[in-house]
Structure 1
């Protein structure tokens, strides 16, 4: 994937702003841009991001590429910060947000400020600085309780949390700014993104099970599966997300901008299948590792049974085709955890 990105940007030098660059997805976007020889300003306030992620990027790209990067520690809820960051910028990749449903229920004002207020500040600043385009992280939480499988962009359901509302509000603001001010925007509804640098959290979705289960299996513990294990999700390797995000930033088709897209793997796996695939990947890393059978517990009755993204629109207008299958992405992720995170077995 990196060689394709480098080839597509070889003759195109831009000044990029990446927000949330110390986060899981944001750090991978930053890494891809620097490897492609792009000039990047990035920002994070370290509420959920990690300095270790930035150090991982620096190690991955080397000092000459890292010299093209300027990092700013700041909060986008301050409009002056956004105005300063956007000066001289051509393209923005906005990854900064709060994606925790539980945190948003506990403190909706804080989540609104970090997600919607920050985004409006960024839109206003981008317009003032004549930024060409903003590609922003949206969320599959926009589908709420909609049961359609696969999910298409024009059929959403009743939103379930303040975090989902804030992220959907960003889609509305982006649409209005494109029509009122001529700012090009592209929203990407990420599904269950996983990969290196992701950490497990109790207040996040099924993708966060991957680092948790990897660690549990490595330590000989039994993984906990809620329900019968036949619930399914559209898991998407972070390399696919980077590919689609940069395609959205660089697409020249006028019909492709000022749109919202599903960005996912386009295939689903059950939790039982996910458990088996992680076990297989760990077995390749450590042939003698014994994997304990999972334990099944009661499922959340409010949780959707199945999710799957229709990625036809992204294929058609962005040229997006996932480069990594679920099994390929898991192999890369598990290898990273074994090398960087887990204690020797």
Structure 2
């Protein structure tokens, strides 16, 4: 089995350097698929991205919707998906695509310019600093704790082939929250009260995101094991220990 997680994450990074994002997320995935086929790998699980859906008004996002990528990152991740989907029929390599919705958890770096919002917010709260919210804070996301992602990968590996290989499955929590409300929860959990600062929206970001989990529930038996609140506390505990 190959579980292909490698990528250059971040929409903002892809806008700044689209070539590097393409080389890693699209060309790199094709290289991995070819290598897996040549090595006789049984099944290849690809870490896709909910960014493939783009800024469509329909919620929740389901796998049969037309894709509408809005950034080089989203385009490159979608290209990786499409490469993965042609390999079963053409080369006999079983593949499964998992579209991740805003993954978070321990070991995410809060210090990078391209860091995800949750480690940035928790780090700011622990240091007593105001975080920066891009846009008005009303944008919503389906934040998904990493343990849920691990569970989905294992199910994608070991579920029988029928109705699985060559398919795309959303992986999320199935609940959405605004960035402003996310900051409020983190403040409450950590016992701080700090007004956030606001900056212009980032290029390529979508307004709203929420996973429809019907297909992965029916096809792989997936359900989110860790809720958003539990995941935030576990992530905060890890960052406190650094």
Does the TM-score normalized on the shorter chain lie above 0.5?
yes
Q: Distance in 2 between matches of 1:135 and 1:171?
A: 10
CA RMSD between the two structures: 1.9
- Matching of residue 269 in structure 1 with residue 177 in structure 2: yes
State the match for 1:304 in structure 2: 206
Cα offset, 1:180, TM superposition? 0.7
State the match for 1:222 in structure 2: 130
Cα offset, 1:253, TM superposition? 4.6
Cα offset, 1:245, TM superposition? 1.1
Q: Deviations 1:100-122 (Å, cap 9, x if unpaired)?
A: 33333333332222222222122
- Candidates 26, 40, 47, aligned match of 1:116: 26
- Matching of residue 197 in structure 1 with residue 107 in structure 2: yes
State the match for 1:332 in structure 2: 234
Instruction: Identify which of structures 1 and 2 has the higher relative contact order when contacts are C-alpha pairs closer than 8 Å and 6+ apart.
Output: 2
Map 1:286-305 onto structure 2 (within 5 A).
290-300=192-202, 303-305=205-207
- Structure 2 counterpart SS, 1:254: coil
Do 2:139 and 2:207's aligned partners in 1 also have CA atoms closer than 8 Å?
Answer: yes
State the match for 1:281 in structure 2: 189
- Structure 2 counterpart SS, 1:170: helix
Q: Distance in 2 between matches of 1:122 and 1:229?
A: 38
For structure 2, the 5+ residue unaligned runs are: none
TM-score (norm 2): 0.92
State the match for 1:239 in structure 2: 147
Cα offset, 1:298, TM superposition? 4.2
State the match for 1:166 in structure 2: 76
Runs of 4+ in 1 over 6 A off after TM superposition: none
Do 1:192 and 1:233's aligned partners in 2 also have CA atoms closer than 8 Å?
Answer: yes
- Structure 2 counterpart SS, 1:124: helix
TM-score (norm 1): 0.66
Do 1:192 and 1:236's aligned partners in 2 also have CA atoms closer than 8 Å?
Answer: yes
Do 1:237 and 1:325's aligned partners in 2 also have CA atoms closer than 8 Å?
Answer: yes
Q: Deviations 1:68-98 (Å, cap 9, x if unpaired)?
A: xxxxxxxxxxxxxxxxxxxxxxx00001111
For structure 1, the 5+ residue unaligned runs are: 1-90, 284-289, 341-345
Structure 1 residues 149 and 184, CA, compared in 2 at 3 Å: closer, same or farther? same
- Matching of residue 150 in structure 1 with residue 60 in structure 2: yes
Cα offset, 1:302, TM superposition? 6.1
Cα offset, 1:146, TM superposition? 2.0
Structure 1 residues 134 and 124, CA, compared in 2 at 3 Å: closer, same or farther? same
State the match for 1:320 in structure 2: 222
User: Which deviates the most, 249-258 or 329-338?
Assistant: 249-258
